[in-house]
Amino acid sequence: MRIGPAELFFLCIMVAILGGVFLGALRIWKGEGGKARQTNNAEEARLIQDIYHGLLKMEERVEALETLLLERERESEKKEAQS
Protein backbone atom coordinates (compact mmCIF):
# COMPACT_ATOMS: atom_id res chain seq x y z
CA MET A 1 0.00 0.00 0.00
CA ARG A 2 1.48 3.28 -1.15
CA ILE A 3 0.63 6.70 0.19
CA GLY A 4 -0.13 9.16 -2.56
CA PRO A 5 0.41 12.93 -2.46
CA ALA A 6 -3.20 13.63 -1.48
CA GLU A 7 -3.06 11.20 1.44
CA LEU A 8 0.32 12.59 2.54
CA PHE A 9 -1.05 16.14 2.46
CA PHE A 10 -4.12 15.08 4.47
CA LEU A 11 -1.88 13.26 6.97
CA CYS A 12 0.34 16.35 7.43
CA ILE A 13 -2.71 18.54 8.00
CA MET A 14 -4.06 16.09 10.60
CA VAL A 15 -0.69 15.95 12.41
CA ALA A 16 -0.54 19.75 12.48
CA ILE A 17 -4.09 20.02 13.84
CA LEU A 18 -3.52 17.37 16.48
CA GLY A 19 -0.22 19.00 17.47
CA GLY A 20 -1.96 22.37 17.83
CA VAL A 21 -4.71 20.85 19.94
CA PHE A 22 -2.13 19.10 22.10
CA LEU A 23 -0.12 22.31 22.60
CA GLY A 24 -3.28 24.27 23.39
CA ALA A 25 -4.37 21.68 25.94
CA LEU A 26 -0.90 21.67 27.48
CA ARG A 27 -0.92 25.46 27.71
CA ILE A 28 -4.33 25.47 29.38
CA TRP A 29 -3.28 22.71 31.75
CA LYS A 30 -0.06 24.54 32.74
CA GLY A 31 -1.89 27.81 33.25
CA GLU A 32 -1.09 30.08 30.31
CA GLY A 33 2.55 30.90 30.71
CA GLY A 34 3.87 29.57 34.02
CA LYS A 35 6.43 32.08 35.32
CA ALA A 36 4.94 35.01 33.46
CA ARG A 37 1.60 34.38 35.14
CA GLN A 38 3.25 34.07 38.55
CA THR A 39 4.94 37.42 37.96
CA ASN A 40 1.59 38.96 36.99
CA ASN A 41 -0.07 37.46 40.06
CA ALA A 42 2.65 38.86 42.33
CA GLU A 43 2.32 42.25 40.65
CA GLU A 44 -1.46 42.20 41.01
CA ALA A 45 -1.16 41.26 44.69
CA ARG A 46 1.24 44.16 45.28
CA LEU A 47 -1.10 46.58 43.52
CA ILE A 48 -4.06 45.35 45.56
CA GLN A 49 -2.05 45.81 48.77
CA ASP A 50 -1.09 49.34 47.70
CA ILE A 51 -4.73 50.16 47.02
CA TYR A 52 -5.76 48.69 50.37
CA HIS A 53 -3.17 50.72 52.28
CA GLY A 54 -4.17 53.85 50.37
CA LEU A 55 -7.79 53.27 51.30
CA LEU A 56 -6.86 52.83 54.97
CA LYS A 57 -5.03 56.16 54.92
CA MET A 58 -7.98 57.79 53.20
CA GLU A 59 -10.33 56.41 55.85
CA GLU A 60 -8.16 57.91 58.59
CA ARG A 61 -8.19 61.28 56.83
CA VAL A 62 -11.96 61.21 56.42
CA GLU A 63 -12.37 60.39 60.12
CA ALA A 64 -10.06 63.28 61.03
CA LEU A 65 -12.07 65.63 58.82
CA GLU A 66 -15.32 64.42 60.36
CA THR A 67 -13.88 65.08 63.81
CA LEU A 68 -12.84 68.60 62.81
CA LEU A 69 -16.26 69.34 61.34
CA LEU A 70 -18.06 68.03 64.42
CA GLU A 71 -15.82 70.12 66.71
CA ARG A 72 -16.50 73.24 64.67
CA GLU A 73 -20.20 72.51 64.70
CA ARG A 74 -20.18 72.10 68.50
CA GLU A 75 -18.20 75.34 68.91
CA SER A 76 -20.66 77.23 66.73
CA GLU A 77 -23.60 75.77 68.67
CA LYS A 78 -21.98 76.83 71.96
CA LYS A 79 -21.45 80.36 70.62
CA GLU A 80 -25.08 80.54 69.48
CA ALA A 81 -26.28 79.25 72.86
CA GLN A 82 -24.21 81.86 74.70
CA SER A 83 -25.55 84.68 72.56
In the chain, where are the structural domains located?
Answer: 1-30, 34-83
4 or 57: which carries more pLDDT confidence? 57
pLDDT in tens, 8-60: 888 889 999 999 999 888 888 777 555 666 778 889 999 999 999 999 999 99
pLDDT band, very low/low/confident/very high, at 5 (cuts 50, 70, 90): confident
Report yes or no: 41 and 34 within 8 Å, Cβ to Cβ.
no
pLDDT of amino acid 53: 95
Report yes or no: 53 and 60 within 8 Å, Cβ to Cβ.
no
Measured in whole angstroms, the distance separating CA 57 from the mean position of its chain's CA atoms is 22
